[in-house]
Each structure stands twice: as structure tokens, then as C-alpha cells.
Amino acid sequence: MKLKIIVHEAEEGGYWAEVPAIPGCATQGDSFEELLENLYEAIEGCLSVDIETPSASEKSRVMEIAV
């Protein structure tokens, strides 16, 4: 999976970034390298949130896949 991110220089130093495809997914870092590390963690956290518990019927099933 590829996601576009927007990287901003923070006024107080360092960087912050947002992921437009995932509303509310943003993070910051003192260096660009730290920002990238934090982005992977933030994206993983945003994508792992279950909004509601999925349910399955007799003819369907709930599965989890890695992308």
C-alpha cells in the first residue's frame, strides 16, 4: 500500500506530517528521520482502529489481512 503524506516544517523546529487519505492521522518529529519513524507508527495505529465490531452470518466470515 502506498500513501501520500504532506510534510510541513514546524515553526518551533522539526517537522509534522499528515496523511490526507486517513482523516485525523498526523504526527511530528524533531528530525526528518524521527518524523518518518513516527509516521509508520501513526499510520499503523490509525488503520488498526476498529470502528465497530464486525459481525458475520452463516454465509460470511470476518477475516483480517495485512497490506
d(CA 53, CA 38): 27
pTM of the model: 0.69
Q: How many CB atoms lie within 10 A of CB 64?
A: 6
Question: Residue 55: pLDDT band by 50, 70, 90 thresholds?
Answer: confident
β 6-9/26-29 pair status? unpaired
pLDDT at 21 over 80: yes
CB 42 within 8 A of CB 18: no
Query: CA 36 to CA 17: how far, in whole Å?
Result: 9
Mean pLDDT, rounded, for 29-40: 96
- Tens of pLDDT, residue by residue over 8-17, are 999 999 999 9
Cell numbers that stand for 57 in this block: 452470518
